[in-house]
Structure 1
């Protein structure tokens, strides 16, 4: 969307800039974007985060040279003209790119349309046992069973009164620069209520609370239970973006993308396809031994056996790179 803003003019550009909170200074925007991209794509011990962006254009309608130069120089995005008159070939080229970018996790990405993709994450927990465990709804009614994982370690943990929920942070890799933050509503609280409260506070305050907790309770063990899950989703974002202020770009009469092309076009669809798998593979957090905890008081228990939220977070930038919710155990595979 930031790159589209570079190719937009007039009210179309203003809506994108306002909603995305983009600075008016284009040089500052491009520099900040480059720095951000460099940080989140750094190599980390045990963690790999890939961010890939590509522009595929109709070969019959070339992109403006000025926009192509900005895309390549400031956003590291290559513009590839392809023959959309041959839908099979166009689909094959785009799907091949996305498959490579997501390490084949998303192999079939498009029928001729435009999509956006995110890759997967893994959780530093071990499988509790093969027996199923009960999963409840917001009203504490049994709605199914799940494969439950567990781990006891000094994970950052906090009780967040301002959003009526508990939070725990599960680090990825030894350098802990990427982590999964799980938000679990207090008993009796709904996930919708927590999300409403979260909309009123910056997400960085949750990250800060967990960091403060980690400093205050060094080496204090937390017993964490989390179900295994694998979720795929496919969203049309047009309606969502229109509701928050990005409207003209989807309107064929109002869209102004003349910064990209010499003729009038509009964005017909903006679709996100996502997949995440959280299981016991790739465990990096060491479990405390029985002897180490025998003389301690019972550690706090974080048991995600009811609806919860999860966020994959890049810690240096405090950026959310993946987010979702688990509400129904029947949808976890």
Structure 2
């Protein structure tokens, strides 16, 4: 399945104490906005139809970089994420977030991981090393950037260990021609869960799917009729679309699917209205409804270097051998980020999901029993039910 524009992200959060609930609400919105911005910039930069990304694991990498950044390098990282990792309430909050999201339950497994590959011989700050050891599932790896092939092999091995597969040999890992030491930033996400109500294999059939370019192809399409949370919406530009929530086992996590109501409405027209506030509105406005659901069975794998996207998000000094200031990582060695590799993958089947990624809206009244038929480009995201975070 090669013509299905999709994206994927997963974040979660929980309120630590009553006094931190304001920080919780603010961080929830900031992290959702970061997820949306990352996806939109990545979608533009990659210029391809199939896309899967996990902003959660990318955010972990940038948060860890904040611990080691100074000056304008730090400011750019803070502005991109929207929060200061040195704020103790933020740090405590995020520790709780990542502890909660990686706890497996009822067949659901979530693993976020990031690793810094740093030139061998660099004398690391003990404080930064301590932060890396306790920050989500982070690690520091020593390598030799004068041998790009060996470095690529190390990154490949780390990806395989954390995700199962991931070929980085097509990426241009820079050799150490600069007198400054290199850091390669690598992040992954793995997710696997089972639908609360599985699709029946016997109901899966080959049905037409219309691509964004207008061509039609036959794809394996799952189907069932089930009572779920569902809503029909309209943007300020009078573009209609539907949203359906498919819960996973335990109902702590759900997949939300967003589909333009008319084939003449492009997915990009709906995605242009994505924001933390609109997603919260969608989720709170859905009603329990019996829906005929048709959903393609698909698998998407993405691996890319995020340098261009980070630059679009305002993170520039970190990648500049002259301007980068990571004295919090090493006082003795001048460091800069030479690579920012991210890999994510997702597989949607009858059993469930396996993944390794202020515009006004009005709710429309339903006129009949709805059919949610994803036979054209659609968007989806994962959202944790008890927190509302994505």
TM-score (norm 1): 0.79
Alignment-derived partner of residue 291 in structure 1 = none
Residue 246 (1) aligns with residue 315 (2): yes
* Consecutive unaligned residues in structure 2, runs of 5 or more: 1-61, 174-183, 354-366
Distance 2:157 2:339 in 1: 21
Alignment-derived partner of residue 189 in structure 2 = 118
Residue 16 (1) aligns with residue 77 (2): yes
Residue 229 (1) aligns with residue 298 (2): yes
Q: Residue 136 of structure 1 is aligned with which of 194, 204, 210?
A: 210
Residue 172 (1) aligns with residue 248 (2): yes
Alignment-derived partner of residue 268 in structure 1 = 338
Alignment-derived partner of residue 256 in structure 2 = 181
Deviation at 1:131, TM superposition (A): 4.3
Residue 60 (1) aligns with residue 129 (2): no
Distance 2:368 2:225 in 1: 11
Distance 2:144 2:292 in 1: 55
Alignment-derived partner of residue 5 in structure 2 = none
Quick check: 1:31–1:74 contact (8 Å CA) kept in 2? no
Within 5 Å, which residues of 2 pair with 1:1-333? 1-23=62-84, 25-75=86-136, 77-83=138-144, 90-102=151-163, 104=164, 106-109=165-168, 114-121=185-192, 124-127=198-201, 129=203, 131-137=205-211, 141-162=214-235, 164-173=240-249, 175-187=250-262, 188-199=264-275, 201-210=277-286, 213=287, 217=288, 220-262=289-331, 263-282=333-352, 299-320=369-390
**How large is the Cα RMSD of the aligned pairs?**
2.8
Distance 2:86 2:204 in 1: 56
Deviations 1:94-119 (A, max 9, x none): 433332322x2x25456656432222
Deviation at 1:202, TM superposition (A): 4.2
Quick check: 1:134–1:142 contact (8 Å CA) kept in 2? no
Query: Which one scores higher on RCO, CA 8 angstroms, separation ≥ 6?
Result: 2
Distance 2:240 2:324 in 1: 42
Distance 1:74 1:118 in 2: 15
- Helix, strand or coil at the partner of 2:78: helix
Q: How many residues align?
A: 296
TM-score (norm 2): 0.68
- Helix, strand or coil at the partner of 2:330: coil
Label 1:121 to 1:301 Cα distance change in 2 as closer, same or farther (>3 A): farther
- Helix, strand or coil at the partner of 1:53: strand
* Consecutive unaligned residues in structure 1, runs of 5 or more: 284-296, 321-333
